Chain A
Amino acid sequence: MRAQDGNDRGNGMTIRMLAAVAGVLATGAAHAVNDMPGGPGVNQLNLPVGVTKIAADQWWVHNFLMIVCLAIFVAVFSVMFYSLWAHRKSRGHRPADFHESTAVEIAWTVVPFLIIIGLAIPATRMVVEQKDTSQADLTIKAVGYQWKWGYEYLKGEGNGISFLSTLTTPIDQIEGRAPKSDTYLMEVDNPLVVPVGQKIRMVITANDVLHAWMVPAFGVKQDAIPGFVRDTWFRAEKVGVYRGQCAELCGRNHAFMPIVVEVKSAEDYKAWVEGRKKEMLAQLDDPTKEWSQADLSERGAKVYAANCVACHQANGKGVAGAFPGLEGSKLVVGRQEDQIALLLNGKPGTAMASFKQLSDVELAAVATYTRNAWGNRAEDPIVQPKDFTAARKP
């Protein structure tokens, strides 16, 4: 990809200069942006070459098609523009009166047909290759949530690991109070980690609405469909960090749920798996323990920031007309059972999804947090994890 970006940089120069003039007018100063490692280059003009065979093939097929299309374009329009120039009235050209020719019609039906067959052959090979998800070394499930990704290692080394992956770009950067970094909007707290050179089968689904899991450097894009499981695969051939974004409109924060994949060497991956497993053991909360309100609220603030804040906002006021506020909400300060049921089941027909993928401790923490934050005074302020455990039982 780097080599490709090198070419692009030359081509993009003129355009960048044009835009820079406008940029200076608009902002007073444009700050230097660098290519994003594993993401888009500055003013990148072509597909990335990528780090998988599929992506490289796509790059090649695209270039091939571009040449064919360009040739057709030049051929057709050199004829047309020659005619516009040579056969114009102001030059005194007299019109001919031919108006049909079966032979010509047949020729320009058959020739494009043959060209298309020529294009279809490499394309067919690639479709078959892309769809072959068999014999994977590692199977990972990706779940699209509004608005983050969840990963679960299902099969192969690391199986059992699961975590959520959320955007880390600070709101100050988004709202223009802080300078934006080179990885603006394409950085997450927990990237997906995979070993290099292994065939990774991604099993993709969604929890609420459609999302799409896309990583251009892998040549992969697969819609995440709630209630259905679809799969795709990649085999990254180079260690590094690769980035993509959600590609199917999924509501308010569609632009804010990126995908970051870290490709590690076999040893590094092994070390990561061990570290992650230890961490998970240490983090394993005891859902039967009685928690104090302070501990729950402290934990709950984090859970809230990672899961709820996009709609209900940090100040608990929600977004008028779209997402209800939690401040003073009857449901939040009311009966515990109602809040527990809402968190576990969501509210059909609204953006309030089920959050049953969170642990009982996390759910209890966030419930306790909301019952006491922003001046809320619930009568029974503490929800214990065991209340959720009980509510989950059918």
Chain B
Amino acid sequence: MSAVLDHPGAHDDHAHDHPHGWRRWLFATNHKDIGTLYLWFSFVMLITGGLMALTIRLELFQPGLQYVQPEFFNQMTTMHGLIMVFGAIMPAFVGFANWQIPMMIGAADMAFARMNNFSFWLMPPAALLLVGSFFAPGGATAAGWTLYAPLSTQMGIGMDMAIFAVHILGASSIMGSINIITTILNMRAPGMTLMKMPLFVWTWLITAYLLIAVMPVLAGAITMLLTDRHFGTSFFNAAGGGDPVMYQHIFWFFGHPEVYIMILPAFGIVSEIIPTFSRKRLFGYSSMVYATASIAILSFIVWAHHMFTTGMPVTGQLFFMYATMLIAVPTGVKIFNWVATMWRGSISFETPMLFAIGFIFVFTLGGLTGIILSVAPLDIQLHDTYYVVAHFHYVLVAGSLFALFAGTYYWLPKWTGHMYDERLGQWHFWMSMIFFNVTFFPMHFLGLAGMPRRYADYPMQFADFNMLASIGALGFGLSQLIFLTAILKCIRGGKPATPEVWENPQGLEWTLPSPAPYHSFETPPTVK
């Protein structure tokens, strides 16, 4: 990444000169610099959240309490969730948006350069608040990443720090979304109609609208929590006329679109990669766009499937069950289109393609367990068990994270000007893929057998699968060091990348030299 940016004053365009040293990052207004900041930030958060996951798996390696006490264990599960969702996955996709959207639509930069800077620099303070809350009296919040009331009203000041952090992150996301929408709608190269946009751009456009729609809802929910905690309101306190279940409704009205916020850009990345390495155009471009939009719309009417056990009326259960099952249709369409893209192509298996195929394979598994969970009478058995933990890690780790890995390897040569080490990439893929499944596959069985989630200790009968999952988690964690090595190696040098990088890839970013120039397209290209 730095290679792109390390020859700043060398060209003659002094009107666009920019600061150097630490000022370059603190005052960054360039979409590539900000994208780099986002990506490194999310990597640091990924490692932080990963260490928390390893602490969890260490305690669960054997039954009994060995290393941590339950209250600290609960802090770990809570902060692992918050940090991975808000600190690792979401910012990573924004990093990709920053780097790629201007290059893919033929623009020079993002629309609002300074707001872009601000939306990034809001994140480190929020991360400090989250991590710092461990040192507050009573420790970090231990109410689960969903922060369900009334447990969350029992927490110490760590809870307030988390609420503040999520508020800041929400503001950052909204600003980022406004920037992305404005950029996409106004700064496309002449001739690039909406239906000619790369799919990654499409998925981000839809995601940005989702973010603007739901982040304020989350902000509302946690603000009500804050006033319940400190200012004597009773939104979620039944003793004062409130309703704890209302918190869940508001939270999941945010929370369900949120899971699509974390997966739609992943669909976009995979839709860029599969055609390149199949050497064939994406099959069913327009149906892909419509499917993405349908998923986004459906995501607003399924939230209560997270709440089947709260005890809702028959009609409520049926409605949310049917609506949820319906999501399988557009999601299926996407998977079929990817397979059809590969069909009769000329397929090669570089690391981005491996991760993209791995994504389809493992994400589909997560999708199928999603169908099983959508069936309300079965969800009664499976809700809040390890089955759910397995399900959402299949779609979030094997889904979002694998797509992020795929995208990183795919565009890294464009960013740095060097090819990454293919052997390291392949090792990273295979280790991640194997250890991911060793970690999370046994959790399906634990859930079916009835092991509840967020448990610091468990009956003896669950011991073997837990041990297996813990071993897998350690392996998965260590595999990410290969990723770090591959990236650092690629930044420092390597075989120079050609402008196309891959064999005849589609998309404007490949018409730029590698590394891409500081201002992507100073004169807009024309798209036919």
Contacts and interface: CB of A to CB of B under 8 A. Distances in A.
Interface string A19-33: 110110011000001
Looking at A12, A19, A176, the one whose CB has the most chain B CB atoms below 10 A away is: A19
Interface stretch (B394-402, B415-423, B452-460): B452-460
B461 A124 contact: no
A335 to B, nearest CB: 25
Contacts of A42: 460-461, 464
B463 A228 contact: no
A309 interface: no
B445 A221 contact: no
> Which secondary structure dominates chain A's binding surface?
mixed
Interface residues of B, number: 106
Contacts of A389: none
Given A83-B347, A88-B346, A116-B325, 11 more contacts: A19-B464, A20-B464, A39-B461, A43-B465, A95-B345, A97-B280, A100-B287, A123-B377, A127-B321, A204-B311, A255-B455
B339 to A, nearest CB: 5
B193 interface: no
Interface string B349-370: 1000000010011001100100
5 contacts: A62-B372, A96-B280, A112-B332, A247-B383, A255-B455
Interface string B125-159: 00000000000011100111000101101101000
A16 B70 contact: no
Contacts of A230: 310-311
Interface in B227-249: 229, 237-239, 243-245
Nearest to B291: A109
Contacts of A212: 309, 384
Contacts of A77: 361, 364
Given A39-B459, A87-B346, A219-B381, A108 B465 contact: no
Contacts of A58: 377-378, 380-381
Contact of B311 (A45, A222, A348): A222
Contact of B381 (A119, A216, A245): A216
A27 B64 CA distance: 13
A15 B437 CA distance: 13
Interface in A2-25: 12, 15-16, 18-20, 22-23
A255 B457 contact: yes
B139 A322 contact: yes
A249 B345 contact: no
Interface string A55-72: 101100110011001001
Interface string A227-241: 110111000000000
Interface stretch (A135-143, A152-160, A178-186): A178-186
Given A80-B360, A244-B450, A251-B74, A220 B344 contact: no
A175 interface: yes
B285 A19 contact: no
A79 B286 CA distance: 22
A319 B69 CA distance: 10
Contacts of B238: 225-228
Given A69-B371, A226-B150, A87 B344 contact: yes
Interface in A269-294: none
Contacts of A108: 332-333, 336
A61 B239 contact: no
Contacts of B332: 108, 112
B391 interface: no
